[in-house]
Amino acid sequence: MIEAKGLTKRYGATVAVDNLSFEVKPGKVTGFLGPNGAGKSTTMRMILGLDTPTSGDVRIDGQRYRDLHQPLTKVGALLDAKWVHPNRSARSHLAWMAASNKLPKDSVDKVLEMVGLTTVANKRAGAYSLGMSQRLGIAGALLGDPEVLLFDEPVNGLDPEGIVWIRTFMHRLADEGRTVLVSSHLLSEMALTAEELIVIGRGRLIAQSTTQEFVDRASGTTVKVRTPQLDQLAGVLQQQQLVTRIEDVEDQGKVLFVEGDLSTDQVGEAAAAHGIVLHELTLQRGSLEQAFMQMTGDSVEYHAHDEVAAVTQLEAPTAAEVAAGPKEDN
Amino acid sequence: MSVITVERIKLFSTRSPWWCMVIAAFLTVGFAALTTGFLNSTDEQQATIFITQPGAQLSQMVMMVMAALAVTTEYRFGTIRTSFQAVPQRAALLLGKTAVVAFLAGVIGLIASFGAWGIGSLFAGNADLAINTGAEWRLLAGQGLIFALSAVIAVAVGILIRQSAGAIAILILWPLLVENLVTLIPKVGDDLAKWAPFANGSSFLNQGQDFGLAGAGAGGSDFALGPWWALLYFAGWAAALLVIALFTASKRDA
Ligand SMILES: Nc1ncnc2c1ncn2[C@@H]1O[C@H](COP(=O)(O)OP(=O)(O)OP(=O)(O)O)[C@@H](O)[C@H]1O
Ligand SMILES: [Mg+2]
pLDDT of residue B41: 78
pLDDT of residue A257: 84
Chain B (47-76) residues lying within 8 Å, Cβ to Cβ, of chain A: 73-74
**pLDDT > 50? residue A305:** no
Domains of chain A with CATH codes: 2-216+297-324 (3.40.50.300), 221-285 (3.30.70.870)
Q: What is the mean pLDDT of residues B18-46?
A: 89
CA nearest to B118, candidates B29, B58, B22, B55: B29
Residues A147-190: pLDDT tens digits? 999 999 999 878 898 899 999 999 999 999 999 999 998 888 88
**pLDDT > 70? residue A317:** no
pLDDT of residue A291: 66
> From the centroid of its chain, how far is CA A97?
28
Indicate the range of A14-18, A227-231, B18-22, B244-248 predicted with least confidence. A227-231
pLDDT of residue B221: 67
Kindly list the protein residues that place their beta carbon closer than 5 angstroms to ligand 2, a single-atom ion: A 41
pLDDT of residue A294: 67
Q: Answer whether B253 sits within 8 Å of A51, measured CB to CB.
A: yes
User: Nearest bound ligand to CA A42?
Assistant: 1
Longest dimension (CA), chain B: 63
For chain B, give every domain's residue range: 3-251
Question: Between these two residues, B218 and A222, which has the higher pLDDT value?
Answer: A222
> Which of A185-194, B39-48, B87-96 reaches the highest mean pLDDT?
B87-96
Burial zone of A314 (CB within 10 Å; 0-12 exposed, 13-18 middle, 19+ buried): exposed
pLDDT of residue B179: 83
CA distance A288 to A269: 29
Within B78-133, residue ranges assigned H as helices are 79-86, 90-123
pLDDT band at A324 (very low <50, low <70, confident <90, very high): very low
Nearest CA to ligand 1 atom 25: A36
**pLDDT > 90? residue A81:** yes
pLDDT band at B158 (very low <50, low <70, confident <90, very high): very high
Q: Answer whether A100 sits within 8 Å of B83, measured CB to CB.
A: yes
- The two beta strands, A75-78 and A2-11, are unpaired
Considering only CB atoms, which chain B residues are within 8 Å of A77? 85
**pLDDT > 60? residue A235:** yes
Question: Between these two residues, A251 and A277, which has the higher pLDDT value?
Answer: A277
Give the CA angle between residues A110, A158, B83 to the nearest 5°.
Answer: 50
**pLDDT > 90? residue A9:** yes
pLDDT of residue A297: 63
- The two beta strands, A29-33 and A55-60, are unpaired
pLDDT of residue A288: 64
pLDDT of residue A220: 66
pLDDT band at A142 (very low <50, low <70, confident <90, very high): very high
pLDDT band at B186 (very low <50, low <70, confident <90, very high): confident
Question: Between these two residues, B192 and B236, which has the higher pLDDT value?
Answer: B236
